[in-house]
Amino acid sequence: MRLMLAALLLAALPAFTLAVPAAAPTLRAPTAPTVPMERVALETSAGRIVLELDPGKAPQTVANFLAYVESGHYNGTVFHRVVPNLLVQGGAFTPDLQPKPERAPVPLEAGNGLSNLRGTIAAARRPDTRDSATAQFFINVVDNPQFDPVDPANDIGAGYAVFGRVVEGMDVVDAMRKAETGAQGPFPSRVPNQAIVIERALRLPGTAQ
């Protein structure tokens, strides 16, 4: 009887649940904002090339290139240097190989994590002066690790700044590299016998402004 009464009393007591502390929220490091890519189309006499530019990796080089695009500088310039197993280069000369006026040079942004691989675009500069890139650019037609920084403290070994890549029209670039070349104007070699003209360069809609 006593046992039954004790059981009834226990059953009548309110049930208490021990509170389990909630797990502390996991703190995540803030995500760095991503810089939108830019796209530029080069309408050339050999076909259309679309470039994707990376202002997050090479902000000053991209801004410089876009300034030339938007000013119309590249319209009517040629690819004046073609080396079949290396690169195609342009952006500075008219079809009769007269130089166009250029803006002030930009600081070298090589060593930014982008390598001179096939299909990338890089800023041309004087080999002996690191901060000398202006309007000229080149597209790597093969992997060119020798153009990446090998001796950043030395102007000659400081590399060439990659600032984007070809996302459409690499077949056009490959056709360019097969062009017959020779001496013309101030150049002793490597100038296409038939001019490859950038008829128009334009920033594509939908990219950052």
Please give the Cα distance from 203 to 209 (Å, whole number).
10
Tell me what pLDDT residue 2 has.
42
Tell me what pLDDT residue 46 has.
98
Binned average pLDDT, 10 residues per bin, the chain of 209 residues = 39 41 57 83 98 98 98 98 98 98 98 98 97 98 97 94 98 98 97 98 78
Token readout for 93 is 């000369």
Beta bridge partners of 168: 50
